Amino acid sequence: MADLRNNFVGIKSPNPFWLASAPPTDKAYNVERAFKAGWGGVVWKTLGEEGPPVVNVNGPRYGAIWGADRRLLGLNNIELITDRDLYTNLREMKQVKMNWPDRALIASIMVPCEENAWKSILPLVEETGADGIELNFGCPHGMSERGMGAAVGQVPEYIEMVVRWCKQYTRMPVITKLTPNIADIRKPARAAKAGGTDAVSLINTINSITSVNLDTFSPEPSINGKGSHGGYCGPAVKPIALNMVAEIARDPETYGLPISGIGGITTWRDAAEFMVLGSGNVQVCTAAMTYGFKIVQEMITGLSDWMDAKGHRDLDDICGRAVPNVSDWQYLNLNYIAKAKIDQDSCIKCGRCHIACEDTSHQAITQFVDGVRHFEVMEDECVGCNLCVNVCPVQDCITMVALEPGTLDERTGKVVDPNYANWTTHPNNPMARQAAE
């Protein structure tokens, strides 16, 4: 049995699956249910300043997009931080931590960008026995209009400043949660590191309008005919999040900075992908909001069974394993040549590979052979683009097969070169020519 115990910047949890700071972690009732279901940790829904709590809209807070069979692919929300009294939250956090000492309990915090505001809330949080804090520099809606959340996360100098205050006023580990609504995710990560953060977590949600009602012309979710951009999350954002995690993991300036990976994690596979790209653990929200807390059981068993099958003993064996394989485009091997291959036994003859290639790509897949509907790759036209693989409805029916060095590429008429060669030295690259001259 693989060892799934997680130690993230000194915070221990029985597994690497935490619930992200979000509606599912707003109160003791939900968090207790989550721990009963098996979640390793919880980041409590973001606390605000002492005083009258924020208010939420009283209409729809969520919008969504769906795939086939109305499978939820993307969710957005305009809910703000907790709208419950600070002390109610703190009291409940303390009790839950006492009830579940083996689980991680993190306090997410968002207060104004003033030293005193942070200085005064941190001891209150510390008193609950929480294992750490997460700085909410990510929420893109509502609070950002008041100079908090993503408004801080978009200014690296503010990030560094606030992280520094937090490291100064608390002994708790500090996790800085980053917003993806920024051009280069490495800049806020570097700033957080410069401020002394123990870790970063990402991504928070993405500015989004999920849809527009074509009868009323109101964006969804609609509040009395008007809509406001919300924070986008769920399976649809996973590729964006994976890239941002990898960017930080391989940036020389932040290399080794612990990352809590967030963004559309729905299955154990998603979680494993985040971890091999450099996340020390993962946080989940939308999947739980879609299917309930039980999904963690699939995640735990799936990750464990995969690790057993591959001989990985613990999480350290897998964390960051894919990071060295994330490369700039310019270093990709241009002598690697692959061709699509269609397994005729599993082909159902839908013709989608043909029309995708014919209409939009390289005219490399037949429609008829000897007058019979038959889909086959023409190797002398195939550039190996992988589009047919992606549009084929049958898994593994079309695969990409690498040409062995020494064999002939029928498209170019050249023999496959066994040597690695990339763009930096390619004769068509003017920069490479200049370097040679």
Partner 1 sequence: MGTTETGILSGRLSPVEYEKNFSDLHPPLDGHEALVAADRCYFCYDAPCMTACPTSIDIPLFIRQISTGNPIGSANTIFDQNILGGMCARVCPTETLCEQACVRNEAEHRPVEIGRLQRYATDIAMRENRQFYQRAEPTGKSIAVIGAGPAGLACAHRLAVKGHDVVIYDAREKAGGLNEYGIATYKAVDDFAQAEVDYVLAIGGIEIRNRMMLGRDFSLSDMLAKHDAVFLGLGLAGVNALRAEGETAEGVEDAVDFIAALRQSATKADIAIGRRVVVLGGGMTAVDAAVQAKLLGAEEVTICYRRGKEHMNASEFEQDLAAAKGVTIRHWLQPKRIIARDGKVAGIELDYTTIADGRLTTTGETGVITADHVLKAIGQTFEADGLGIIALQSGRIVVDGEGRTSLDRVWAGGDCVLGGEDLTVSAVAMGRDAAESINHVLAAASQPAVAVA
Q: Taking the complex as a whole, how short is the minimal distance between the CB of residue 199 and partner 1, in angstroms?
A: 41
366-395 binders of partner 1 (CB under 8 A): 367, 373, 393-394
- One-letter amino acid at 389 equals V
Interacting residues with partner 1 between 391 and 420 (CB under 8 A) = 393-394
**What is the per-residue binding string for partner 1 in 125-164, x denoting contact by CB under 8 A?**
----------------------------------------
Q: Any idea how long the chain is?
A: 437
CB of 355 to partner 1, least distance (A): 4
Closest CA to 18 of 207, 195, 265: 265
- 348 vs 435 by CB, closer to partner 1: 348
Compute the least distance from the CB of residue 394 to partner 1, in Å: 6
Site for partner 1 in 20-79 (CB under 8 A): 68-70
Instruction: Report residue 244 as tokens.
Output: 């941002």
The distance of closest approach from Cβ of residue 353 to partner 1 in the complex, given in angstroms and rounded to an integer, is 9
Which residue, among 174, 176, 195, has the nearest Cα to 185 in the 3D structure? 176
Cβ-based nearer residue to partner 1, 16 or 235: 235
- Residue 87, token pair as written in the block: 């002390």
Residue 139 among the catalytic residues: yes
Distance CA 125, CA 111 (A): 13
292 φ, ψ to 5°?
95, 170
Identified catalytic residue from 139, 233, 357, 392: 139
Cα dihedral 221, 223, 227, 231, rounded to 10, equals -50
Q: Write the CB contacts of 327 (distance below 8 Å, at least 6 apart in sequence).
A: none
- Count residues binding partner 1 (CB under 8 A): 16
Nearer to partner 1, 332 or 348 (CB): 348
- Cα torsion 108, 21, 210, 219: sign: negative
CA distance 235 to 390: 17
- Per CB under 8 A, 363 contacts partner 1: no
Compute the least distance from the CB of residue 76 to partner 1, in Å.
Answer: 21
Q: Which is nearer to partner 1, 70 or 171 (CB)?
A: 70
**Site residues (CB under 8 A) for partner 1, limited to 333-362:** 346-352, 354-355
Enumerate residues 6+ apart whose C-beta is below 8 A from 191: 156, 157, 159, 160, 163
Residue 66 and residue 72 in contact, taking contact as beta carbons nearer than 8 Å:
yes
Smallest gap, in angstroms, from Cβ of residue 358 to partner 1? 8
Nearest to residue 303, comparing CAs of 109, 16, 20, 65?
A: 16
Q: Which is nearer to partner 1, 250 or 354 (CB)?
A: 354
The footprint of partner 1 (CB under 8 A) covers: 68-70, 346-352, 354-355, 367, 373, 393-394
The residues assigned a catalytic role are 139
